[in-house]
A and B are shown apart, each in its own frame.
Chain A
Amino acid sequence: MPIYRERYRRRDGGIDVRGRAWVVICTQGLRSLIKKRAFLYLLIVAWIPCIVRAVQIYVVANFPQASFLEISPRTFRDFLDQQELFVFFITVYAGSGLIADDIRANALQLYLSRPVTRMQYAAGKLAVLMVVLSLVTWVPALVLLILHPMFAGNATFIRNNLFLIPAVALFSLIEILVGAATMLALSSLSKSRWFVAVMYAGVAFFTQAVFGATRIATQGTAFSWLAVFGNIAQVGDVIFRLKPRYDTPPVVSALALAGLLVMSGLILSRRIRAIEVVT
């Protein structure tokens, strides 16, 4: 009898099909990202603004001469605004191939021929992006919030601005969810991660350019709802209790973002299939 026949044995243990597939998919996605040096460098660079802000908090708390660098709720809003650039680059780097690579390698049928629903597959892929984007948004912002009382020696600032904790969390969630869902939808539309990256950049910059053009034409900012980043900024200002920066009603911006999420969901439900039926 050939040796290989001895090697296969039936299993005794059970199988767990209670919907933990999305966790497996997310864990695997994160593992493969962490192995990439470029991603780690990007992550390190994305933490530099946090370090700078931490120094700012320390200096303000310990050197009265630096009081002009005053820490306010706006500081945290500005910090998250700065992080938008890293959110963009990490979304492109980590997200463009999430589904596109699976389509290219015919992997969707391998996932969906197992006890994995289309929803679990999408949730697992979405979770990968949400985790990595968290590392450059609310996680460093919360670190700064924790450092403030440690450097200042009192919790007065936090006590007076307790809304900052949910504001940071909610704004980051909106920013991450919109970016991740849009990227995932675009990733499901192509086999090429490069093309997906170009499409995402196109969506971001083209909508911003259209808004810029309307701004010049109308001498106002009522059309900021046309720009994805414009809507995120507008909603963010409201969450941080600041005066909205554009003329567009914040509700309209929120609706535009909700529309983008719905559209992404529809694209994903149509594109995540084990078989492609050509009629």
Chain B
Amino acid sequence: MADNAAAASLEDVSVMYGKQRALSGVSAEFPAGAVGLLGPNGAGKSTMLKALLGLIRPDSGTLRVLGLDVATSALEIRARIGYMPENDAQIPGMTAVSFVAYCGELSGLPAADAMQRAHEVLYYVGLGEARYRNVETYSTGMKQRIKLAQALVHDPDLLLLDEPTNGMDPKGREEMLALVRDLAHNKQISLILSSHVMPDVETVCDAVVVMNHGTVVMRGPIDTLKGPAGRMFEVRIKGDRAAFVERLRHEAFDCREAEGDLLRVTLPADAGADRLFAAAAGVGAQVRHLRPSVPTLEDVFAGAVGEDRV
């Protein structure tokens, strides 16, 4: 890799679809390793991946992948990238092994090499026994695996994975995440994992870039973004919940909805749990449940895109 610091970077990139702005002056850096690309639907994640592949020409700005400029070296970049698209994609009428070998040849591998790699990666993704079956007969989970196999066949330096666990059952999802994690942490393949499933990203990635409305709203290592533990509490009260929330907001505490009727409240560093009891007492409510919690990626995401705030 020419630039060890960044697998990919964008500088002031804007992309328009007609009159609609998909990316708006985006500047971001994806360090080597596993980076999650988070954002709600329509945030611009897929557009960013396609711009990095050179499939979309940005209206302004520059993109660099593996140290190369996307505008001038798109083919060289694509030879070193593996792309796993979000939706179903296969070449009709082929067996899995022919399909993956064909993809390898298209990426520039010699035919014999491509066939050998096809067998290897199909075993790696767990499709070894089904490699002579027509791809069109595969189940959803198998189709996800073969999309990963075709992205891996030419041994890329960077993987772009767009929602890799879409439509998979829990066991399949777990196996897919284990594969992706293995690639990033044991095989030294950098990857950008686009997803809106926070636990997936948290399982695999070391850092995240959070997007919303075509802009980057937050980026950095997950541990840093989550902040120090111990200042967050899960609270349930008996009484006027709206008044309690209003009181917390008045005291400048960050307060979010959680599962059931729980609230997740973040207190300033100098405040203790007694402030929550005081706030509840102030509105005539009782604290029925109080438990220290740790910030999750979902909290980081919700904070970045302004979701679930009450």
> What residues make up the interface of A, taking CB atoms closer than 8 Å to B?
2, 4-5, 7-11, 13, 15-17, 20-21, 24-25, 28, 32, 97, 101-102, 104-107, 109-117, 273-275, 277-279
B89 within 8 A of A: yes
Task: Evaluate contact between B109 and A15: CB separation under 8 angstroms.
Answer: yes
Given contacts A10-B188, A17-B76, 15 further A-B contacts (CB under 8 A): A15-B80, A20-B108, A28-B102, A101-B92, A105-B89, A106-B90, A110-B85, A110-B89, A110-B91, A114-B103, A114-B106, A115-B78, A274-B50, A274-B55, A279-B20
Q: A127 → chain B, closest Cβ, in Å?
A: 15
Q: Give chain B interface residues in 242-277, CB to chain A under 8 Å.
A: none
B124 within 8 A of A: yes
Q: How far is the CA of A15 from the CA of B90 in the complex (A)?
A: 23
Task: Evaluate contact between A107 and B56: CB separation under 8 angstroms.
Answer: no
**What would 8 A/B residue contacts be, using CB atoms closer than 8 Å?**
A2-B178, A105-B89, A105-B91, A110-B89, A114-B79, A115-B76, A115-B78, A279-B20
Interface centre among B75, B76, B90, B113 (most CB of A within 10 A): B75
Contact among B103, B124, B152, B186 for A110, CB-based, below 8 A:
B103
Contact among B81, B93, B182 for A113, CB-based, below 8 A:
B81
Q: How far is the CA of A105 from the CA of B88 in the complex (A)?
A: 7
A8 partner residues in chain B, CB cutoff 8 A: 120-121, 124, 152, 182-183, 187
> What residues make up the interface of B, taking CB atoms closer than 8 Å to A?
17-20, 50, 53, 55-56, 75-76, 78-81, 83, 85, 87-94, 102-103, 105-110, 113, 117, 120-121, 123-126, 136, 150, 152, 154-155, 178-179, 182-183, 186-188
Task: Evaluate contact between B102 and A7: CB separation under 8 angstroms.
Answer: no
Task: Evaluate contact between A10 and B124: CB separation under 8 angstroms.
Answer: no
Question: Would A106 and B89 be within 8 Å (CB), given that A8-B120, A274-B55 are in contact?
Answer: yes
Q: What residue in chain A is nearest B108 (Cβ atoms)?
A: A15
Q: What residue in chain A is nearest B121 (Cβ atoms)?
A: A8
Q: How far is the CA of A101 from the CA of B113 in the complex (A)?
A: 27
Q: A49 → chain B, closest Cβ, in Å?
A: 31
Q: What residue in chain B is nearest A28 (Cβ atoms)?
A: B102
Contact among A7, A10, A20, A107 for B89, CB-based, below 8 A:
A107
Contact among B79, B83, B120 for A17, CB-based, below 8 A:
B79
Q: What residue in chain A is nearest B80 (Cβ atoms)?
A: A15
A101 partner residues in chain B, CB cutoff 8 A: 92-93
Task: Evaluate contact between A109 and B93: CB separation under 8 angstroms.
Answer: no
Task: Evaluate contact between A10 and B187: CB separation under 8 angstroms.
Answer: yes
Q: B199 → chain A, closest Cβ, in Å?
A: 21
Q: How far is the CA of A10 from the CA of B19 in the complex (A)?
A: 44
Q: How far is the CA of A100 from the CA of B83 in the complex (A)?
A: 22
Question: Would A115 and B152 be within 8 Å (CB), given that A8-B183, A17-B76, A105-B91 are in contact?
Answer: no
Q: How far is the CA of A7 from the CA of B18 in the complex (A)?
A: 46
